[in-house]
Structure 1
Amino acid sequence: MDNVISVRDLRVLDGKKTLVGPVTFELAPGTTTGLCGPSGAGKSTVLRALVDLLPHGLTRDGHLEVQGRPIRYGKGDSGLRSKVVLVPQTPVVFGGSILDNAVFGLRHLVRASREDLRGRVEQALKEAGLWKEVHNRLDTPAQSLSAGQRQRLCLARALALEPAALLLDEPTSALDERSRDTVEESVAALRGSRTVLLVSHDPAQVERLCCRTVRLEHPETMALTSTAA
């Protein structure tokens, strides 16, 4: 089966200076891949490069394909961010209800009836492991949710877009142990049905959740290894 994402010789540049890369890896359908490496190696930067969200002044080059379709750097692609969705380290919860937050991306990217939108959101909340906790209070403020619930709400918001791949940037680093375990359960449940690239500073978490890893070291060092499935 074709890879969901293929990355070849990806580099992130500050002028002519290489900050990250070259990095080469592929994401197969239904797999969870860990992007690992020491602090400052550029793990989060790689995620941002994949969705064209690099900080001002940085550029990227290399080759990126999403579902077999080349994505040209610097040319823009209105559909890219609905196909490859980044869930950031800090949960972004907007003012408004739980339902408003969950449907936010869909309202901007998908033309569908209110019933269809709600159906997709319900499925996404179930997939993120949050439905049972919020199904009877979808109209309550999202700000009332715990940190772990907010992270799963952000996960659901991404899943509602039915992306080709999810990019998770340190999804549990700001959570207590109990909330971390709950979010990990939700991420683990995606394996086999969703393609996930996970950045984590915790080797034990990567071992628990990922079937293989891409390790970043210095700009010209990268290795792909396999871990237990």
Structure 2
Amino acid sequence: MDDVITVRQLRVHSREKALVGPVSFNLRHGSTTGLCGPSGVGKSTVLRALVDLLPNGLTREGELQVLGRTIAPRKGDAELRATVVLVPQTPVVFGGSILDNALFGLRHLLRASQEVLRERAEQALEEAGLWKEVADRLDEPAHTLSAGQRQRLCLARALALQPAGLLLDEPTSALDERSRDKVEQSIAALRGSRAVLLVSHDPAQVERLCDTTVHLDQPMAATSAAAAVG
């Protein structure tokens, strides 16, 4: 399998303070990797660093390559964030229909006919395991969906971009058991087609879904500071 993301000695700093790292790992095409560590160690911050979405005041150091391309630290890299997509912990549902939400990112990236866009959105909903539940209600408001369905809608929105990699930040932490199982089924179905980096507080979930695991340790000199960055 080819490497989609290569990380070497990644660190995140706030001025003089080391908040995260160093951490090194590879994300391979078709493989799901778990990113684990104690609460407050900076797992979510690592995900944001990989797509240059760090909060103001935080900086990334170390080597980051995506599909063999070295990624310099900068904000506003739309190409990067279409190649590797971050799906946040809290599902963000925009105003408009279920279909509008599935198409949200794709409309800004791909100039194509409505027919082609709709086909991509429907494929993504199928890949995210949501199609059978919404096929006859695509024009209904997205806010009518349950929490678990919203999470899978966000996954479909990311998949519509046909990314090489997906970064999933605690995708089931706020869900009941039934909804969690459905989201897990969707993540498991991605094996073989995407490189997935999964942050989870649940060791059993990591065991079920992940091929490999990366453990993130607390920086020695940043015990108090790291707690502020999740």
What range describes the TM-score normalised by the shorter chain of this pair?
over 0.9
Aligned equivalents of 1:72, 1:80: Cα separation in 2: 11
Amino acid of the residue matched to residue 81 of structure 2? R
2:77 corresponds in structure 1 to 77
2:227 corresponds in structure 1 to none
Q: How does 1:130-145 map to 2 (within 5 A)?
A: 130-145=130-145
Q: How does 1:2-21 map to 2 (within 5 A)?
A: 2-21=2-21
Residues 76, 91 of structure 1: alpha-carbon distance in 2 compared, 3 angstrom cutoff = closer
Please give the root-mean-square deviation of Cα atoms over the aligned residues, in Å. Answer: 1.0
Render the CA deviation track for 1:59-111: whole Å, top value 9, x for unaligned: 11111110011111137533010001000000000010000000000011111
Are the aligned partners of 1:12 and 1:18 in contact in 2 as well (CA < 8 Å)? yes
TM-score by length of 2: 0.94
Q: How does 1:1-229 map to 2 (within 5 A)?
A: 1-74=1-74, 76-219=76-219
Aligned equivalents of 2:54, 2:2: Cα separation in 1: 27
SS of the residue aligned with 1:143?
helix
Are the aligned partners of 2:148 and 2:183 in contact in 1 as well (CA < 8 Å)? yes
TM-score by length of 1: 0.94
Are the aligned partners of 2:53 and 2:75 in contact in 1 as well (CA < 8 Å)? no
SS of the residue aligned with 1:154?
helix
Aligned equivalents of 2:63, 2:149: Cα separation in 1: 36
Aligned equivalents of 1:122, 1:164: Cα separation in 2: 19
1:115 offset after TM fit, Å?
A: 0.7
SS of the residue aligned with 1:79?
helix
After TM superposition, the runs of 4+ consecutive aligned structure 1 residues lying more than 3 A away are none
SS of the residue aligned with 1:4?
strand
SS of the residue aligned with 2:180?
helix
Any stretches of 5+ residues in structure 1 without a counterpart?
221-229
How many residue pairs are counted as aligned between the two chains? 220
SS of the residue aligned with 1:125?
helix
Render the CA deviation track for 1:196-215: whole Å, top value 9, x for unaligned: 00000000000000000000
Residues 75, 169 of structure 1: alpha-carbon distance in 2 compared, 3 angstrom cutoff = closer
Are the aligned partners of 1:71 and 1:77 in contact in 2 as well (CA < 8 Å)? no
Render the CA deviation track for 1:19-54: whole Å, top value 9, x for unaligned: 000110001110000000000111000001111111
1:13 offset after TM fit, Å?
A: 0.3
Are the aligned partners of 2:52 and 2:75 in contact in 1 as well (CA < 8 Å)? no
1:226 corresponds in structure 2 to none
